[in-house]
Amino acid sequence: MTDSFFEDDGDEALAEINMIPLIDIMLVLLVIFIITAPLLTHSVKIDLPKASSTPNLTEPDNIQVAIDNSGQVYWHGEAVTATTLDERLRIAAGHSPQPELHLRAERTTPYEKVAQVMSAATHEGLTRIAFVTEPKTP
């Protein structure tokens, strides 16, 4: 008694993909793109005037504001009150290009005072604020 279920009849399916038609299609598409690519560039030949110029770079000034540990604010080394600070920040915000505010605070300065100065600067229209620190010495 032979079991025909397990016999090898040679009718099994091939598990290989025929790559030749795929390669033919890719080569045809490549040739089509090579032929049509130069047609896609539309350039108009015009004679533009020649001029030599250098960009006018104006470096914005910077404002030095310092805060000591007691909360006193200094504008370029001069002690100022809150109203004077607001007035000077408003004037500085009106300049073009707008100056950068360099904010220095002592290590023991309350953060509340630093936040108040930053808030006053942004309220008056200054958008560029930088913190200045001293480098760490080894």
Tens-binned pLDDT, residue by residue, of the chain (138 aa) = 555 555 665 666 767 788 888 999 999 999 998 988 877 776 667 776 776 666 656 566 888 999 998 889 999 899 999 899 999 999 988 888 888 889 998 888 888 999 999 999 999 888 888 888 877 776
| Structural domains of the chain, with CATH | 62-131 (3.30.420.270)
Give which of 72, 87, 70 is closest to 126, Cα–Cα. 87
pTM, full prediction? 0.54
Q: Which residues contact 98 (CB under 8 A, 6 or more apart)?
A: 60, 92, 125, 126, 127, 128
